[in-house]
Every structure is written in C-alpha cells, then in structure tokens.
Amino acid sequence: MKLRILLLITTVVLLIGGCATGPTVTRTAADEVIDLSGRWNDTDSRLTAETMVTSMLSGGWLERFISDEGREPVVIVGSIRNRSSEHIDAETFIKDIERELVNSGRVIFVAGGEARDEVRDEREDQQSNATQATAAALAAETGADFMMQGVITSQTDAIEGKRATLYKVDMELIGLENNQKVWIDTKEIKKLVEQKKANW
C-alpha cells in the first residue's frame, strides 16, 4: 500500500514538473516596435526625439542665426520634466534627443548636467596631475547659444477593461543670452489598450 502511494506521488510530481516550462525568449531588432503594456516605451522615446529634432532644425531660427552669426549655433539640452501619471525615464529620452542633434550635423552640441560636471572634475584633476603640455585648459569651454527644454505629460481615461492614454511632449528652444523662445513644438501619442476578459 505504501509503495503504491509512493509511486502515485512520484508520478504526479513528474507530471507536474514536465508541464512546467520556462520563459520563451525571442531576439528582435532593437528598433522593432513592441508595445506590450501600452505605456510609454523605447519606441515612443526614439520616435518623439526624431520628430522633435527634425522640427527644431527646420525652424526659421536656424537659418537666421547662421545668417547673422556666420556659424552653426551651439545647443545644450536642459531638463526634460516628467509630469505624466507613470514612471518615464527622462534620461533615456534626453539621450535620444542628444543623439539626433549630434548626428544632424546642423548644430554644435555641448554636454550639460552630470556629464558636464564629470568633465569639469576631470579637467580640475588634470591641473594637478597631468603635465602642463597635456592638461586641458580651464575656462575654455564652448558656451551654448540655446538650451532645449521640455515636459512630458499624460492624460488617461479608462472604463471596463479599456484604457486610453494621451502622452503630450512639449519642447522649446530658448536663447541663453536673451531668454527668447525661438522654437516651440508639441508631439502627441495616443494609445488605446483593451484588456480582454478571460474565458473560463
């Protein structure tokens, strides 16, 4: 009797263990659109950055500046504030914008924020620890002419398993010397997510 019970338990354990499977992982292209939750994701960040930088570079301010100054403008990215209802990694969005600005070749881009502070610390360290011939000079940074800033907001409406979320990204370019706003644009992304009911 004990042997039968032991065999039965062993069989059940083996059957349950055989049914359990691990996660399935599929490698995809990094730029493939995958939207599982309907929340802000890497595709939204990348496409919004591309759209905003294209809009900014096509504005009349750029041609006026080049005509007046005889050179490309120097741009720095300031804060991108997240005022949406969910966690959005603003740093990833900033990096997407920086990449688009640098790769455009239309403006000179300078580092800001933590990257600038780290470079300044290294330059200060070189004054004491590097040879005079190789130490980077102090007070020789390229000053920015314009700062790009923005804010991300969202509005969500939901009922009975359906959720509609509108993401709104407002960006602007501000002259550092005179505080003039030379470019403003808005990008909107709307997502409808429907949670299907389980059939039991």
Round to whole Å and give the CA distance between 141 and 143.
6
**150 Cβ partners below 8 Å, 6+ apart?**
52, 79, 80, 81, 169, 170, 171, 172
Q: Has residue 66 been placed in a domain?
A: yes
Q: Has residue 56 been placed in a domain?
A: yes
Domain region containing 63: 38-129+139-194
For 36-59, the pLDDT digits (tens) are 787 899 999 999 999 999 999 999
Q: Has residue 30 been placed in a domain?
A: no
What pLDDT tens digit does each residue of the chain (200 aa) get? Answer: 666 666 667 666 555 655 556 688 777 776 777 777 878 999 999 999 999 999 999 999 999 999 999 999 999 999 999 999 888 888 899 999 999 999 999 999 999 989 999 999 999 999 999 999 999 999 999 999 999 999 999 999 988 889 999 999 999 999 999 999 999 999 999 999 998 765 54
Question: What pLDDT shows up at residue 50?
Answer: 95
Q: What is the pTM of this model?
A: 0.79
Two structure tokens written together for 174: 């501000």
DSSP structural state of residue 138: T
Q: Has residue 32 been placed in a domain?
A: no
Q: Has residue 58 been placed in a domain?
A: yes
Question: What pLDDT shows up at residue 34?
Answer: 77
**177 Cβ partners below 8 Å, 6+ apart?**
145
Q: Has residue 54 been placed in a domain?
A: yes
Question: How many separate domains does the chain show?
Answer: 1
Phi, psi of 115, deg, nearest 5: -60, -45
Q: Which CATH number goes with the domain that contains 79?
A: 3.40.50.10610
Number of neighbours of residue 159 by Cβ within 10 angstroms = 7
Round to whole Å and give the CA distance between 85 and 88.
9
Question: What pLDDT shows up at residue 200?
Answer: 47
Q: Has residue 11 been placed in a domain?
A: no
Q: Has residue 150 been placed in a domain?
A: yes
Question: What pLDDT shows up at residue 39?
Answer: 85
